[in-house]
């Protein structure tokens, strides 16, 4: 294959992966920025989204948009309930909260194994066919992911900037004490924020289901990447998660194409170490005292 085609292919794949990383990272960093919670079960919600897609799309053959909605709503509500039951009791004890989310991840993953079995399943593409522009061909299934992710993120952005709940969440993230004084009810904000966070993860799972397979074990890698992205972009920074996610996806795609996926993985981890040494608060994070 000639270089331009290779480059363009790598770029498209990079954007596809990048949007998934972005969605995982935004959810993860949102919960940390607002609630100071590190959710080690974040990857399992991605996995639940993938299974939701499998059942609603592959088995019940519902329209894809409906599948997205069902996944987001059911898993979002589940997240909100879990926040009340498991995250809330540890609001003053960060360490115990982290360990609790670890326990949660173990339960969710193994429950999936028990209910659905460990064998990976494949999901058909949502759209077949290609789009040809000049000498380049883009698979429509890949473009769909990019477009869908962009739309989802746009909706998220509007929610955060324009709605009262969204603004309240941003206020809490900036300065919890002042937000409380202003009468913002933390007990309502936190479950909603958590629900949105895991809904984003679930949507990422839905979008990626046709590309990667669906199994109870698919949650670990996306969560790992989310960690890398938030370290790069800055813990608590949503813009950092967006930029970091897309950047990581592109870097990964290009290095994998050029040097193989193993080198790509190692390079990423080296990048993390470098950032931690030189600029630990990330590209766009806040330098805290």
Partner 1 sequence: MEASSASVVAKASESRGASGRKLLTRVAILATLAAALAAPQLTTNQFYLHIANLALLNAIFTMSLGLIAAVGQLSLGHAAFAAAGAYISALGALQLKIPPIFGIAIAGLAMGVVAAVLGTILLRLRGVYFVLVTFLAGQVCTLIALNWESVTRGANGLVGIPPISIFGYALSSRLQFYYFALAAFVAVFAFIWALMRSQYGRAFRSIAENMQLAESSGIDTSRYQVVAFALGSGIAGAGGAAMAHYIRYISPDTFTFHESIAYITMLVVGGRQALLGAVLGAAFLTPLPEALRGFVSVQHIIYGAILLGVLLFLPGGLYSIGKLFTALMTRSEKRK
276 binds partner 1 (CB under 8 A): yes
Site string for partner 1, 125-154 (x = CB under 8 A): ------------------------------
Which residue, 253 or 268, is less far from partner 1 as judged by CB?
268
From 65, 81, 113, 154, residue interacting with partner 1 (rule: CB under 8 A):
113
H or E element at residue 186: helix 186-208
Residue 137's SS3 state is strand
Q: Please, what is the minimum distance in Å from the beta carbon of residue 228 to partner 1?
A: 7
95 binds partner 1 (CB under 8 A): yes
Which residue, 4 or 280, is less far from partner 1 as judged by CB?
280
Q: Please, what is the minimum distance in Å from the beta carbon of residue 182 to partner 1?
A: 27
172 binds partner 1 (CB under 8 A): no
Q: Please, what is the minimum distance in Å from the beta carbon of residue 247 to partner 1?
A: 17
CA count, 13 A, side-chain hemisphere, 206: 29
212 binds partner 1 (CB under 8 A): no
Distance CA 282, CA 144 (A): 30
72 binds partner 1 (CB under 8 A): no
Distance CA 224, CA 182 (A): 37
Tokens 């895991």 found at: 198
Distance CA 197, CA 45 (A): 9
Distance CA 145, CA 215 (A): 20
Tokens 């997240």 found at: 79
Residue 237's SS3 state is coil
For the chain, what is the total number of helices (H) and then of strands (E)?
A: 11, 2
224 binds partner 1 (CB under 8 A): yes
Tokens 């540890």 found at: 90
Distance CA 135, CA 102 (A): 48
Distance CA 269, CA 60 (A): 40
Which residue, 118 or 124, is less far from partner 1 as judged by CB?
118
90 binds partner 1 (CB under 8 A): yes
Within 227-246, the residues that bind partner 1 by CB under 8 A are 227-228, 230-231, 235
Stretch that binds partner 1, among 15-23, 157-165, 180-188, 258-266 (CB under 8 A): 258-266
Stretch that binds partner 1, among 15-23, 104-112, 168-176, 238-246 (CB under 8 A): 104-112
267 binds partner 1 (CB under 8 A): no
120 binds partner 1 (CB under 8 A): no
Contact 50, 209 (CB under 8 A): yes
β partners of residue 214: 121
Residues 6+ apart with CB under 8 A from 52: 67, 70, 71, 74, 75, 202, 205, 206
Which residue, 47 or 235, is less far from partner 1 as judged by CB?
235
Within 2-61, the residues that bind partner 1 by CB under 8 A are 32, 38
Distance CA 44, CA 48 (A): 6
Residue ranges in contact with partner 1 by CB under 8 A = 32, 38, 86, 89-90, 94-96, 98-100, 102-107, 109-111, 113-114, 220, 224, 227-228, 230-231, 235, 262, 265-266, 269, 272-273, 276-277, 280, 288
């Amino acid at each position: 294959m000639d270089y331009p085609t290779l480059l363009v292919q790598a770029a498209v794949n990079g954007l596809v992966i990048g949007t998934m990383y972005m969605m995982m990272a935004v959810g993860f960093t949102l919960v940390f920025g607002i609630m100071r919670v590190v959710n080690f079960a974040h990857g399992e919600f991605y996995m639940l989204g993938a299974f939701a897609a499998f059942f609603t799309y592959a088995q019940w053959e519902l329209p894809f948009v409906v599948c997205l909605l069902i996944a987001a709503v059911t898993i979002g509500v589940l997240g909100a309930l879990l926040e009340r039951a498991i995250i809330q009791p540890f609001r003053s004890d960060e360490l115990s909260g982290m360990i609790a989310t670890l326990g949660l991840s173990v339960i969710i993953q193994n429950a999936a194994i028990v209910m659905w079995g460990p064998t990976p399943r494949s999901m058909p593409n949502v759209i077949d066919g290609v789009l040809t522009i000049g000498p380049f061909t883009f698979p429509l299934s890949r473009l769909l992911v990019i477009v869908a992710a962009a739309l989802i993120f746009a909706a998220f952005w509007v929610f955060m900037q324009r709605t009262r709940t969204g603004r309240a969440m941003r206020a809490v993230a900036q300065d919890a004490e002042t937000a409380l004084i202003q009468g913002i009810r933390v007990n309502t904000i936190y479950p909603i924020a958590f629900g949105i966070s895991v809904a984003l993860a679930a949507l990422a799972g839905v979008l990626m289901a046709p590309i990667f397979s669906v199994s109870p074990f698919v949650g670990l890698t996306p969560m790992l990447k989310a960690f890398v992205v938030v370290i790069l972009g800055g813990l608590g920074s949503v813009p950092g998660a967006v930029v970091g996610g897309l950047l990581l996806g592109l870097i990964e795609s290009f290095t994998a194409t050029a040097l193989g996926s193993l080198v790509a993985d190692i390079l990423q981890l080296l990048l993390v170490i470098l950032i931690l040494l030189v600029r630990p608060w990330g590209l766009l994070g806040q330098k805290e005292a």
